[in-house]
Structures are given as structure tokens and as C-alpha cells.
A and B are shown apart, each in its own frame.
Chain A
Amino acid sequence: MEVRGLVKHFGDVKAVDGVDLDVREGTVLGVLGPNGAGKTTLVRCLSTLLVPDAGSAVVAGYDVVRQPRALRRTIGLTGQYASVDEKLSGYENLYMIGRLLDLSRTDARRRADEVLERFSLTDAAKRPAAKYSGGMRRRLDLAASMIGRPTVLYLDEPTTGLDPRTRNEVWDEVRRMVREGATVLLTTQYMEEAEQLANELTVIDRGRVIAEGLVDELKAKVGGRTLQIRPADPTALHAVAAALAGAGLDGIGGATPDPAECVVNVPIISDEQLTAVIGLLGSHDIALAGISTHLPSLDEVFLALTGQKSSEAPADDDARENDQQYAEVSA
């Protein structure tokens, strides 16, 4: 997938303002950005739902503007809002899509059953999609995108508004699709999601790319997670910091005591370091009252990458609610 200088305006609003992207075959590109950054508009341009005002995009060898019909045979789209017919059962939705993709009746039936099985929806196959839980609906949506075995998948905020368990289910499915060779463009508001799924990351804000690179590179810039250690004895803050400093853990920027909160903050970039820190504290006989890890918020990511705050557009209440729900989950 090669995108060059893509522009899409809505009146005076430049929703996408000159975006370049490259996604290598069989990899996942995460597009990270706040609400209103232009992520959805970008996906809609690349999936032939919108015609860009300028620039070019070639997906799976097809030009999105000049060869939309051919392109539609190779792409699958799962949007933020489930794009299935809620009045139809899961099975009927998938059967219909099979028929629309020119499968014979028998093949459409078989493929629908196959995909239902794979997304653990066989038991719910006969129920109308409207009666599905949020996670089931999202899975059905992914299933619908998979019927035609697309080589390129667009996932537009696939887990926004989902609870953590359901979110993990969706992540597992995405990983599996990638293992099977799909090329994925994933938009998200969450650094954690990008970390979990993407190989490379493009950060966009106000329709422009503000940072790009391998996830690990960007993570190193942003600083990974912060481990917060609360010793049982509040006066032991410096002892904790000294113990960790003495240990010389690789890649740890240094432990900083925060007396106001009675915690020590330790930036970490891997799970091994988390284990090492805890082991070290144990060997120093330091009693702990609490320990927690925090991911950088989208704001912190933006601050670290660009030195300025993100331009989150005034979001509608729904999106905000989702954000909060998600923030609680990842905290």
C-alpha cells in the first residue's frame, strides 16, 4: 500500500491534509491519532467510500481513484460502527455477503458456516445481529470482512467502546488474520492497541503525519510504561530509588521519587524489566504497599513526539464515554 500526498477537504476543513503512508505486504500499520485527526476519513478514502481531492493511493496494486471496482475485490473494511444488517441473523449476514461476492449458494453456505465457527459465533448463528453483545457484533463484523478472503484489511478503531475481555478477543482475531498473510491498516486512539498489533506506526494529527516509524522506535521515544512503586513505609522512597539505581538495570531512565504521592516512578520498556525491578526490591527486603503500571496517554505520546499537545477536536459524548471507559481499563 502506497499513499502519497493524500488530501481530502470537507468545505474549509482539511480532514486529511497531505498524508503519505507505506504498508509492506503482510504487516500491520497502526495509525494513531485523537478524535478528529482524520483517521476515519483516511480509511474511507482508501476503501473507495470517498474520492480524495488530491494525491494518490495504490492498494494491492490498484489505484483507489481509477480502479475502485477491482480494488473492492481485495479489501475488507471493519468500521467503528458494526457494518452488518442488524435485523438479519449472523448466518444470513454472512451468506448474503458470500452471494454478493459471487460465491455459489453451496459455497456461500459453507463459507458462512466456516467463518462463524472460526469467530466462535456458531451458537449465535441464527439469532438476529441486533441481539448480539457488542463484542459478538464486532466479531461478526470482522467475520463479514473475512468472507471474501481479502488481502488488505482496514480496521477503523476496531475496539473503541469494547470491554477489556472483548477487546482482547478482537486483538487475537486480528493477529490471526495477520499470521494468515493479511496486510492491515489499523486506526486507533490508543498507544496500547498500536503496541499490541502494529509493526509500524504513523501518528497523525489535524490530517497531517507528525511522526512515523517502527513501533519499538516510537515507543523508545515515548518511554514505554511507567512503573509506580508505593513502599509500605513512606519514608523509604529514597531507599527504593537508591536500590534501583544501584542495580543498573539496562535501559531504565532512572527511578524518581515523588514524595507528594509517596511513590517512586520507574520508566520501563519491557516486561522483563518489570520482573527484574520487583525481584530487586524483594532481595532488598523493601516492603511494598502497592505497585502499578501506567501506559502513556495519547497526550503524553503527542507531547513526547512533537513537544506539543494534541488537537483533540471537541468529541461527541459517546466517544468521550468510550475514552473514559478505556482509560480505566488500561490504567
Chain B
Amino acid sequence: MSAATPTAPATKPGADEGRIGLRANLRHIGALVRRNALQIKQDPESMFDALLMPVIFILLFVYVFGGAIAGKGQQQEYVQYLVPGMMAMMGMNIAMAVGSGVNEDFRKGVMDRFRTMPIARSSVLIAKIVVEVGRMLIATTILLVMGFLLGLEIKGGILPFLGSVALSTVFGAALMWIFILLGLSVKTPQAVQGLAMLVLMPLQFGSSIFAPTASMPGWLEGFTKVNPLSNLADAARALINGHGAVAHPALITLGWAAVITAVTMPLAVKKFRTKT
């Protein structure tokens, strides 16, 4: 309309003072992490997925499928197979919750407040990820404790074992950006859940997490080879059990994590910045 703006008012000099320094940025992230942690304290039910899911899943899979896959009475062998794979699954399931959380946040006014404050807008998202990584580590710990109770043994040494935890955490954190992007793109938290399930199910079950892939039809086996969850499960399994190739699946997993982060993080931050 008014392309010709009458008398541009005088402004203070300088392009845009108030760029946020690293230290301030870390302090902001700290304050926001505290916020997210307090939310959990206020609403302990939100931890159910992290606390109970590993317990329920491991029991179900070991006792329902364990015998069929490893042979009756051989459940313990299956524990050795399943638990490293489930570490991959935990990351994905927890990451899914980030999407609905971000979506929920945006439906409330509090995001408007954050976005009118002199803080880097990405710090809101980074704080969310920090807290979710914490939740993921809790879920993984519970999973491992359950695993030990069911007879899991660390055969590959403590460092490779920690490596497997680190690998699944890195991959899980990368996945969170996808779900943040999804959470910012759809209208309701329910829609986030629905869409996420559509993606999750084939990725989880079309992988080597629950069963060896050799018995699968060729096309599915081909899919499991590129499926990052398969590769993560294979790498974690090799690290914990002390045999099998580590480098190849680990590199594929890290490659996926890098690509996912490089593509979805800038998109998510941009979306967050411009979301109305």
C-alpha cells in the first residue's frame, strides 16, 4: 500500500545492538532448562513414558517373543540381543514427546513472551533438547537396570558400553529436531503424536531391533540396512556384546544424525522464529 513511506523517523544508530554473547546465551539456556525441569516436577505423569515404557517393553518382548526367537528357555540370550536394540528405540520414543511439548507450548502465550525478550530464540529449543536428553538418559538407565535384572551381561568392556549409550543419545538428540520441526508445523499435539506414530512404527519394526533381519524378505532386509535404527541397534549390540562390526553401523548412524541435524535444525529454528 504505502510503498512511499512518509518521513522515516529518526532511529538510534547501530544496526542492531544487543547481540547475545555466549555466556548470556548459556545463562538463558540454563534458566529455560530449569523451567522445563520444574514443569516435570509439577506434572510427574509426564515422566511415565521415560520410566515405565522401558520396563513394560522389555518384559513384553523378552517373554512374548524371546522364546520364539531364541528358543524356549533361551530368553537370556534374547535379552543380550534385545536390550542394545531397545536403547535405539528409547531415543526415538522420547524424542517423539518433544514434538508435542513444543506444540503445546506454542498454543499457550508463554512463547510470545519468550519471543519478545532479548534472548536468542534458539535457546528455547536448545533448553528443551537438554531436558529431553536428560529424560532419555533416565529411560536408558531404567532399561539397562531391567536388562541387568534379566541377566544382561556387558561383554565388551565398560568403555564400549558407554560408547553405545553415547551413540544412542547422539542419535536421539538429532531425532528431536525432526520432532520439533513437526511440532511447529502441525496444529495440535495429537496430530504430532499421530504423524509421529506413522513414521515410528515402520522404522522401529522394520529394523534389527527386535529380531535378526536374515529371515525377512529381500526388500525389507534392504530397508533395514539403510534404516538408521537398525544400524544404531547393530552398533550398540556389537559394543555391548563385544563381537560384530562396530565401525560400519556406527558411522552410518552418526552420518544419519549429522544429516538429520544439519537439515532439520535450521528449518526448525527458522520456523520457530517466524511462526505467527
Show the binding face of A for B, using Cβ within 8 Å: 2, 4-5, 7, 10, 14, 17-18, 44, 47-51, 54-56, 58, 61-63, 66-70, 72-73, 75-77, 79, 81-88, 92, 96-97, 99-102, 128, 141, 144, 148
Closest CB pairs A-B (n = 5): A5-B2, A83-B109, A99-B31, A83-B113, A69-B18
CA distance A88 to B38 in the complex (A): 7
12 CB < 8 A contacts A-B: A4-B7, A49-B116, A66-B15, A69-B19, A73-B18, A84-B113, A85-B110, A86-B108, A92-B38, A96-B32, A99-B28, A100-B32
Main secondary structure of the interface of B (DSSP, over half): loop
B246 at the interface (CB under 8 A from A): no
B12 at the interface (CB under 8 A from A): yes
Show the binding face of B for A, using Cβ within 8 Å: 1-3, 5-12, 14-20, 24, 27-28, 30-32, 34-35, 38-39, 42-43, 108-119, 274, 276
Known: A81-B109, A100-B31. A67 touches B12 (CB 8 A): yes
Nearest CB on A from B108, distance (A):
7
Q: Count CB-based A-B contacts (< 8 Å).
A: 136
CA distance A141 to B110 in the complex (A): 10
Nearest CB on B from A113, distance (A):
17
Known: A55-B5, A58-B11, A87-B42. A100 touches B117 (CB 8 A): yes
CB pair A69–B32 under 8 Å, yes or no, is: no
Question: Residue on B with the closest CB to A9?
Answer: B1
Residues on the A chain within 8 Å of B34, using CB: 96, 99
Residues on the B chain within 8 Å of A56, using CB: 5, 8-9
CB pair B112–A83 under 8 Å, yes or no, is: yes
Given contacts A49-B276, A55-B2, A79-B109, 14 further A-B contacts (CB under 8 A): A5-B1, A5-B2, A5-B6, A14-B1, A54-B3, A55-B5, A63-B11, A66-B15, A66-B16, A69-B118, A73-B18, A83-B113, A96-B34, A100-B28
CB pair A69–B17 under 8 Å, yes or no, is: yes
CB pair A144–B38 under 8 Å, yes or no, is: no
CA distance A10 to B5 in the complex (A): 21
